Homo-oligomer: A and B are copies of this chain.
Amino acid sequence: MVQLDFSKLDGLVTAVAQDWKTGEVLMVAYMNAESWELTRKTGIMHYWSRSRKALWKKGESSGNVQEVKELRIDCDADCVLARVRQIGDAACHTGYRSCFHRVIEEGGGERVDGVLVFDPAKVYGVSTERADARGASAERPKPYGEKK
């Protein structure tokens, strides 16, 4: 039985969720021992919310749960890579498919590059500052990996 090393992050390991088909990195979060066990046993991604200090079944509010297709760990067992099927096609609370929709430009600024899947105001009942501030709805969705 594989033992994860929860000692380096005070009881947590880092967890990367990756779309199992496209390879897009959807989000990075953390797991404690309980969320790791639940993820393994249920086949649905469970994390540990550091802000809420609580077990976090991803998609509990939005319905956008993540089905586990494959679980990997890294060489020193302190990080999980989960290849998942993202229900609802959006992992980010801002409505984007991926949390990593902020691209750093050469000068150190940023631009948004991502697929906006839902309006967070409709899903969570409140508008998120980030989706609004970035003019998210004006973004043209681009296939992941398309080079500029």
Interface residues of A (CB under 8 A from B): 1-2, 8-9, 14, 16, 18, 22-25, 27-28, 40, 50, 70-77, 79, 81, 92-94, 96, 99-104, 107-110, 113, 130, 145
Count copies of this chain in the complex. 2
- Per DSSP, are chain A's interface residues mostly helix, strand or loop, or mixed? loop
Complex: chain B residue closest to A78, CB-CB: B28
Q: Is the CB of A109 within 8 A of B1?
A: yes
Q: A72-B100, A102-B72 are in contact. Are A79 and B28 (CB under 8 A)?
A: yes
* Cβ A81 vs Cβ B2 within 8 A: no
Q: How far is the CA of A95 from the CA of B94 in the complex (A)?
A: 38
Q: Evaluate contact between B71 and A99: CB separation under 8 angstroms.
A: no
| Contact, CB under 8 Å: A75 / B101 | yes
